[in-house]
Each structure stands twice: as structure tokens, then as C-alpha cells.
């Protein structure tokens, strides 16, 4: 490499160009060049049996000279312990090596366990940069030469831990089409970056520390972002940054005047850049800073998850409307003006109501209000994740006709008149807004129009919450063991269900018969949930809606009755948290039973299977090789668990009754996996009709009528929380009372942790 080329190489990233290699690390024999970091001070301290004291700020960043040494030491460990041939740092095969890195860190530095995840994340990034530097320095320009298979002399001298076998595996992957595709994607993505930083390594962290040392307080992230993009002479790195800087100044002035308020990630920097943050990124802050740590340190109010969900829903609606208007050539402004109703007198209340201040003498007599109303749940369509979301409780007048009016406007076809009594998502948008009410909370106590298909009458809620209302056919092939069970409990027909009164008093707990560990939740449910209130539990994924648990869910679970899909989802969230804490969250993916179970009746069967298969495809499309998919499934008042390995085209079917899978399940899985294979391009050029291998696996068999849901929870626990969980589960023949009580106690404790007193 010539002197000019050496001077050109830099760790600084230039806009529109791929990141250059820090190849000076490989020029250890040339005078004045940076040598591989050895950190002799760390070795000296380790020899004495001491550790270097590292301080962390309120954001979780290592600070001072010791913090810099920690960062450098992590880089040394990454080159020493992480093999250069790895493809994905998240692979479970690397767990022993990661643990070794962590052990080396805590042996040399005083670092709390709470920083482990960020330390390993930094290690992964350092290993990735090292692999990139090796590729740029020794491989890229010689990828097709046979000489590339031999380790370069400088690599042999400076990095003896890289064996010849490691090097050959490193070269083999970089000759594959997958690597070429990912490399091209990275180059194109980098070309779109317009706001490259002017700082070196850990620029955000060091700039943050400088400001704190001078002022005694942390600077907002938009200040750090801007400072790291201005050259020492005061000039901007490129004109695009000047535009963002002006926007930051304008929003900062509005913030000072009180006309702009930062809420969560919707702050000055996000608004100025024009695109939102995602969960794995916090621009303007170092890689050590998590979003929660930043907002706690800066005392920024966090956004309510319900508000965040409604914003996403509103944005999706807006995109849909824009696409439809563009498709049909509609001018939205003109459409709104033509559709605007005539102005009427204002109501006495800001809430939706049907009483005007004064009656116009010439106005026609109001239409009679239907006398009969029914308690109901009101839903909205979730345009982001699919399905429907419960937003309110109320009463519905189901006998309305399209010409009936609400606030002088006809209901229209397919809509009914409802009154809202209990809002569940207060800031959810009404499906049909009025002049007075746009959000759910504004319509409490008044009348609004609601799509009939999104109204569920109270009398059918109990059955619907537990999955399919259709009983399994005792005479069907493979359902011999169900015959006895189906005959024990008569399923009510729909007319019989509708005759029940909505004002039924909920059952009460027999506290003496409840295990002591479950009584706190039972007491709380009896006192606080019997009025229709619900407990909001976090979902498995942060971008999903919360899971709502009501009195009936708690009562049925504690008294060992049939459990709902919501109860299943709560336990899935609990297992996800346990896996994340144990570092096992990269081994499994869960699919919600709401997305795959045959809940709806009297629908096009083929289209309904297609819809549920698409839900499976959407979830498994991006999962890496080796990850298993756990799918609870309700086949008709009976819970089973499917464990899917899409890459091996195999499915393990765990049925607490021991039966073979039914026709709906087989068709659903076969359609989903066949179409997924087409989507990922596994050598198949046309739709295949081959049946996926569905194997009925050995598992504990239930003895009672209503234990299937608890057994499925136990199955998931066995699989996810044990290293060899699948083998352990298939070797078990039964669950005793203690096994099931453990699951129930974990469920109850997890639900109790989200009660707000």
C-alpha cells in the first residue's frame, strides 16, 4: 500500500461511500502506524489480582479514561474469542464464547451485571468491524484468486488465534451469494446516509461527557447530534445537515415558548429528521444508551402505549385513504366540503348526545329510538398487526335500519347505533366520528354509529373469548378420545346463549378452596374486576397491543376451568421475559392463537384458511435457521401445541388427548409452509401440494375435561426454559397436580405484577 493510500484510509465514515477499513491495524511493522491494541495496563492489573474501577453515568455509559480502556479491552476480547467465520452474532452456538468474554471483562473491570447485555452488544459490533477490516485489507480485491485461501503473513503474526481453518471458513462464506447480496444491500443503504458524523470512535459518548463536565447536566440528544456533524472550523459536513440544523433551531424555539412538547421518542431530533426511532436505535447517543435510560436521565415523559398504537393506526388509515384517492382520482378537500352536513345548534355537553338546545318548530319529529338494547363489546380493526382490538364497552341497538340517524346523519348500511359506557382505549379514534366526538373518551355517555361487524353482543362473549364455538365432532376420524369428553359437557347453541340475561351476577370465589399462592389475585379480582374493569398486561412484542385480562379470565384460571386465548397470551409474554433474562430469547418465536385458531364461523372456509396461513407466513418469513416456532392452537374448545421447524419442513404436534391432528390444522400448516417455501425460494419454482411432515409427538396425557389449556402452558414452559426441552417433554408421561399448580402460580404472579393500585 502506498503512502497516499495509507493516508486515505480512515475510520471516519464518508457520506455516500462504504465504510473504509482501519487497515493500519495490520501495518504493525511500519513506523508510525497503529499497532494491534494490547492494553498492557490491563494485564498488569490482572496480574496483581486487582480490577480497574469503571464509572457509569445515569445513561449507562462508561465514562473517563477507565471507560475508554473498557471499550478497548472489549475490542481485544472480540478479536480473541469471537471467530471470524461467524455469520450471526446472535447464534446460540456462540453463547459459551460470549460468557467467556463477559468473564474476562468482569475479571479486569468492575462492571455490574446490569451492563452485561450492552457489553456483549459492543463486543459483537467490534467483532463485526474486525471482520470487515480483514475483508477490506486482504480479501476484497483478491476474492477470486487462489492465493486468498492462505493466511496473510501479517494476520499470522499479529493474530495467532486465527487458524488456517478459521481463515478458510471466513473466505468460503465471503464467496457465497448470500454474502454478496448482503454486502450490496449494505452499500446501497450506506449511500442513502446523508448525515455522517465528523467524530471518531465513541464520538457521541465523549461529546456527552464533555458537555456534562462543563455544565453539570446532560444535553438533549439533538444538541449532541448537531455538534458531532460540525467541523472544527464551524462548517457543516454537507448542506443537508444545515437544513436539519435550521429545523432543530425552530423546534427548540417552539419548545422554549411552550408550543412544542417532547413526548417519548417524538422529540426535537425525531421531528427534525422526519423519520421515527425504532426499538434498537437511539440517534445522537452512544451504543451503550438504551431508550429507557436516556428518558429517565433526561426526565422526558414517556408516551402511553395506547397513544402510540393509535398513532400508528391513524398513519395506516391515512396511507390507505391516500392510495384510494389517488387510485380513483378523488380530491379529498372537495370531497370533505361536499360531504359536510349542515350546521346544527350546539349541544349542551361536549360529549356526544342526541339532545339539542332548542327544538326547531319546522323540524320533523325525531324518529323513535329502538327500545331494546344489549350489552356489547366494541372493536376496531388493527391495520398494523391484523385482527381486531377491543376499545370500549357499551350497549348496542341492533334493530336499527340504515335510514335511522345519529346527530342528524343517517347510520348507513352495515352500521348500528351504540352508546359507550366504559372506554378501554380512551384515545382510540371513533370509526364514524361526529361533530362533537373524535375519540372514544369524548363519546362516553352519548350515541354514535358503529360498524355492525365490529360489535359483539355480551351474551356470546364467553364462548368467543375461548376460541371456536363449534364443538369437535366425536365421530370424526382421530377423535375417539374426544367422544367421551364431548359428551360430558353440553355446548349451548346460539339461541340458548342469547336468552341469557346480560345482567347476570359474576360468580364469586370460594377462597378456602383456592391455593394460598393464588388468593391475592383472587381477592383483587373480586374487589376490583367484577365491575368490568380489566388488567392490562404487556404483549410479547413491544409494537403489539396490550393483553387485557378480565374477571372471567381470572376466575376461570384460578378455579381450574377452561382458559381463554388471552390467558394463553399472558403466559407467552411471561415465558418471553424469562427467555430474555436467561439469554434464550433467540431460540424461539411464538405465534398468537388469535391469528391461527378457527374462531370465526359461517365464513368462506377456503378463504379463512388462507387468511390464517398468511398470518403464519408473515411471522416466520424472517426467522433464522435453527429457531423453532411455538404455536398454541384451539381446534374447537380444545388446546394443542404445534412446534414448527420451517427450515426442516417438520411439525411436532403435542395433543394432551393424544389424538392425531384434524383436517383444519393439517390444511393450515401445509398451506402456510408450502407458500413460505415459495416465498424464501428454497429451490421450488411452482406451488407444491406435498404435505408437510406433521408428527404426533409423545407428551403427558390429560385425565380431566378442562386441563388441555394448562397442559399446553406446561408444554411451552418445558420446551423454552430447558436446554433440551423438546426431548424432556417427549419423555414425560404425565403432569401431576404440583406441575400444573406451578404454571398457575407463575401466571397469577405475572398478572399481579401489572396491577396499578
Torsion sign across C-alpha atoms 615, 617, 622, 623: positive
483-497 confidence digits (pLDDT tens): 322 222 322 333 333
Residue 519, burial from CB neighbour count under 10 angstroms (0-12, 13-18, 19+): middle
Is pLDDT of 100 > 50?
yes
pLDDT category at 686 given cuts 50, 70, 90 is very low
Among the listed ranges 8-17, 587-596, 615-624, which one has the minimum average pLDDT value? 8-17
How far apart (Å, rounded) are the C-alpha atoms in residues 119 and 102? 8
b/e 78-95 (16+ beta carbons within 10 angstroms → b): bbbbbbbbbeebeeeebe
Lowest-pLDDT range, 104-118, 135-149, 366-380, 571-585? 366-380
Q: State the Cα–Cα distance between residues 231 and 686, nearest whole angstrom.
A: 56
Least confident of 280-289, 563-572, 691-700: 280-289
pTM across the whole model: 0.40
List phi, psi (to 5°) of 10: -155, 155
Q: Any residues with CB less than 8 A from the CB of 212 and at least 6 apart, and which?
A: 57, 218, 219
Cell numbers placing 353: 348526545
* pLDDT score of 264 more than 60: yes
Residue from 253, 295, 251, 257 nearest 270 by CA:
251
Percentages helix, strand, coil for the chain, rounded to the nearest 5?
45, 10, 40
* DSSP symbol at 489: S
Q: Whose CA is closest to 132, among 22, 241, 231?
A: 22
What mean pLDDT do residues 105-109 have?
A: 89
Cα–Cα distance for residue pair 575/569, rounded to 1 Å? 10
pLDDT of 367 higher than 60:
no
Count of other CB atoms within 10 angstroms of residue 693: 13
Q: What confidence score (pLDDT) does residue 49 get?
A: 79
Torsion over CA: 261, 267, 272, 274 (sign): negative
Asked if the model's pLDDT at residue 261 lies above 60, the reply is yes
Mean pLDDT confidence for 282-292: 73
Q: Which band of pLDDT confidence, cut at 50, 70 and 90, is reported for residue 297?
A: low
pLDDT grade for 548, boundaries at 50, 70 and 90? confident
Distance in angstroms (rounded) separating the CA atoms of residues 375 and 553: 18
CA distance 677 to 92: 24
pLDDT band at 641 (very low <50, low <70, confident <90, very high): very high
pLDDT in tens, 16-52: 333 444 544 555 444 444 444 557 788 888 778 788 9
Which span out of 268-277, 451-460, 597-606, 658-667 was modeled with the highest average pLDDT?
658-667
Read off the DSSP letter of residue 150. S
pLDDT score recorded for residue 649: 82
CB atoms within 10 A of CB 544: 18
Say which residues have a Cβ less than 8 Å from residue 292's Cβ, sequence separation at least 6: none
Q: Specify the pLDDT at position 200.
A: 64
Q: Both ends of the chain: CA-CA distance in Å?
A: 68
The DSSP secondary structure of 196-253, one letter per residue, reads -----TTHHHHHHHHHHHHHSSPPPHHHHHHHTTB-TTS-BSSHHHHHHHHHHHHHHH
**Phi then psi dihedrals of residue 435, to 5 deg:** -65, -25
pLDDT of 31 reads 45
| 467 within 8 A of 634, measured Cβ to Cβ | yes
Whether residue 360 has pLDDT greater than 50: no
Is the separation of the CB atoms in 621 and 680 below 8 Å? yes
| 241, pLDDT greater than 80 | yes
Supply the pLDDT for residue 93: 83
**Model confidence at 349: pLDDT above 60:** no
Q: Are 346 and 394 in contact (CB under 8 A)?
A: no
Average of per-residue pLDDT across 345-367: 38
Note the pLDDT of residue 219.
79
* pLDDT computed for residue 387 by the predictor: 67
Q: Determine whether 720 is exposed, middle or buried from the number of CB atoms within 10 Å of its CB (0-12, 13-18, 19+).
A: buried
User: Inter-axis angle of helices 64-81 and 95-108, to 10 degrees?
Assistant: 150
Has residue 374 got a pLDDT over 80? Answer: yes
Mean pLDDT of 253-271: 76
| Cα–Cα–Cα angle for 734, 739, 740, rounded to 5 degrees | 100
- What is the distance between the alpha carbons of residues 106 and 111, in angstroms, rounded to a whole number? 6
**DSSP for 96-129?**
HHHHHHHHHHHHHEE--GGGHHHHHHHHHHHHHH
Confidence of residue 309 (pLDDT cuts 50, 70, 90): low
378 vs 277, residue with greater confidence: 378
Q: Compute the average pLDDT of residues 536-554.
A: 79
CA distance 601 to 692: 26
Is the Cβ–Cβ distance between 625 and 666 less than 8 Å?
no
Mean pLDDT of 227-249: 81
Say which range, 494-508, 512-526, 650-664, has the weakest mean pLDDT. Answer: 494-508
More confident residue, 177 or 279: 177
- Of all residues in the chain, what percent carry a pLDDT higher than 90? 10
Instruction: Among 45-54, 102-111, 116-125, 321-330, name the one with the lowest average pLDDT.
Output: 321-330
Stronger pLDDT, 276 or 380, i.e. the higher one: 380
Residue 748: CB partners within 8 Å, gap ≥ 6? 517, 518, 520, 521, 557, 558
Amino acid at each position: 500500500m502506498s503512502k497516499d493510500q495509507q493516508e486515505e484510509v480512515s475510520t471516519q465514515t464518508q457520506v455516500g461511500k462504504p465504510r473504509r477499513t482501519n487497515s493500519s491495524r495490520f501495518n504493525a511493522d511500519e513506523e508510525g502506524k497503529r499497532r494491534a491494541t494490547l492494553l498492557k495496563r490491563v494485564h498488569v492489573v490482572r496480574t496483581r489480582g486487582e480490577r480497574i474501577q469503571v464509572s457509569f453515568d445515569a445513561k449507562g455509559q462508561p465514562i473517563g479514561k477507565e471507560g475508554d480502556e473498557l471499550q478497548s479491552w472489549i475490542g481485544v476480547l472480540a478479536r480473541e474469542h469471537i471467530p471470524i467465520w461467524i455469520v450471526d452474532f446472535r447464534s446460540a452456538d456462540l453463547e459459551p464464547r460470549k460468557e467467556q468474554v463477559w468473564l474476562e471483562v468482569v475479571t479486569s473491570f468492575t462492571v455490574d451485571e446490569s451492563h452485561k447485555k450492552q457489553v456483549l452488544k459492543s463486543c459483537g459490533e467490534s467483532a463485526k468491524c474486525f471482520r470487515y477490516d480483514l475483508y477490506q485489507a486482504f480479501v476484497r480485491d483478491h476474492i477470486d484468486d487462489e492465493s486468498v485461501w492462505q493466511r496473510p503473513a501479517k494476520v499470522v503474526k499479529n493474530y495467532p488465534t486465527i487458524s488456517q481453518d478459521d481463515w478458510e471458513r471466513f473466505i468460503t462464506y465471503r464467496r457465497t451469494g448470500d454474502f454478496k447480496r448482503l454486502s450490496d444491500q449494505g452499500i446501497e443503504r450506506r449511500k442513502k446516509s446523508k448525515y455522517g458524523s465528523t467524530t471518531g470512535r465513541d464520538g457521541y459518548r465523549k461529546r456527552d461527557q464533555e458537555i456534562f463536565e462543563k455544565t453539570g447536566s446532560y444535553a438533549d440528544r439533538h444538541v449532541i447530534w448537531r455538534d458531532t456533524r460540525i467541523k472544527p472550523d464551524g462548517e457543516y459536513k454537507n448542506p443537508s445537515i444545515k437544513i436539519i440544523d435550521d429545523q432543530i433551531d425552530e423546534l427548540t424555539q417552539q419548545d422554549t415558548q411552550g408550543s412544542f412538547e417532547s413526548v417519548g421518542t417524538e422529540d426535537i431530533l425525531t421531528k427534525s429528521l422526519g423519520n421515527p426511532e425504532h426499538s434498537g436505535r437511539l440517534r445522537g447517543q452512544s451504543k451503550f444508551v438504551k431508550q429507557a435510560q436516556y428518558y429517565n436521565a433526561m426526565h422526558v415523559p414517556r408516551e402511553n402505549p395506547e397513544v402510540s398504537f393509535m398513532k400508528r393506526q391513524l398513519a395506516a388509515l391515512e396511507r390507505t385513504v391516500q392510495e384510494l384517492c389517488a387510485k380513483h382520482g378523488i380530491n379529498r378537500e372537495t370531497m370533505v366540503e361536499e360531504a359536510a352536513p349542515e350546521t346544527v345548534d350546539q349541544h349542551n355537553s361536549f360529549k356526544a348526545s342526541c339532545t339539542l338546545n332548542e327544538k326547531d318548530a319546522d323540524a320533523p319529529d325525531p324518529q323513535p329510538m329502538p327500545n331494546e338494547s344489549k350489552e356489547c363489546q366494541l372493536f376496531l380493526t388493527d391495520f398494523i398487526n391484523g385482527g381486531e382490538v377491543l376499545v370500549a364497552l357499551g350497549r348496542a341497538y341492533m334493530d336499527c335500519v340504515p335510514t335511522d340517524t345519529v346527530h342528524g346523519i343517517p347510520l348507513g348500511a352495515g352500521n348500528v347505533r351504540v352508546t359507550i359506557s366504559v372506554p378501554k382505549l380512551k384515545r382510540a379514534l371513533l370509526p364514524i366520528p361526529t361533530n362533537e366526538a373524535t375519540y372514544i373518551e369524548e363519546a362516553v355517555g352519548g350515541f354514535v354509529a358503529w360498524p355492525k361487524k365490529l360489535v359483539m353482543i355480551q351474551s356470546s362473549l364467553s364462548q368467543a373469548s375461548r376460541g371456536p364455538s363449534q364443538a369437535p365432532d366425536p365421530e370424526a376420524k382421530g377423535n375417539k378420545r374426544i367422544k367421551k369428553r364431548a359428551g360430558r359437557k353440553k355446548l349451548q347453541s346460539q339461541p340458548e346463549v342469547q336468552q341469557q340475561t346480560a345482567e347476570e351476577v359474576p360468580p364469586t370465589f370460594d377462597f378456602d378452596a383456592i391455593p394460598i399462592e393464588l388468593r391475592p389475585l383472587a381477592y383483587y379480582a373480586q374487589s376490583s374486576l367484577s365491575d368490568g374493569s380489566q388488567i392490562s398486561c404487556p404483549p410479547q412484542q413491544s409494537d403489539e397491543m396490550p393483553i387485557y385480562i378480565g374477571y372471567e379470565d381470572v376466575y376461570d384460571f384460578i378455579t381450574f376451568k377452561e382458559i381463554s386465548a388471552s390467558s394463553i397470551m399472558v403466559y407467552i409474554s411471561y415465558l418471553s421475559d424469562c427467555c430474555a433474562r436467561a439469554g434464550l430469547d433467540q431460540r424461539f418465536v411464538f405465534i398468537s392463537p388469535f391469528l391461527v385458531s378457527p374462531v370465526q364461523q359461517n365464513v368462506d372456509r377456503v378463504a379463512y384458511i388462507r387468511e390464517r396461513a398468511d398470518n403464519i407466513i408473515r411471522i416466520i418469513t424472517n426467522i433464522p435457521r435453527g429457531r423453532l416456532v411455538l404455536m398454541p392452537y384451539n381446534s374447537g374448545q380444545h388446546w394443542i401445541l404445534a412446534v414448527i421447524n420451517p427450515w426442516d419442513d417438520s411439525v411436532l404436534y403435542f395433543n394432551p388427548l393424544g389424538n392425531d391432528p384434524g383436517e383444519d390444522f393439517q390444511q393450515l400448516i401445509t398451506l402456510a409452509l408450502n407458500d413460505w417455501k415459495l416465498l424464501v425460494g428454497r429451490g421450488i419454482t411452482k406451488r407444491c401440494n406435498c404435505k408437510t411432515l406433521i408428527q404426533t409427538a409423545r407428551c403427558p396425557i390429560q385425565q380431566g375435561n378442562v386441563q388441555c389449556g394448562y397442559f399446553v402452558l406446561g408444554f411451552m414452559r418445558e420446551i423454552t426454559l430447558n436446554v433440551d426441552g423438546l426431548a424432556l417433554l417427549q419423555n414425560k408421561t404425565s403432569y401431576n397436580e404440583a406441575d400444573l399448580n406451578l404454571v398457575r402460580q407463575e401466571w397469577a404472579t405475572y398478572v399481579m405484577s401489572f396491577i396499578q393500585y
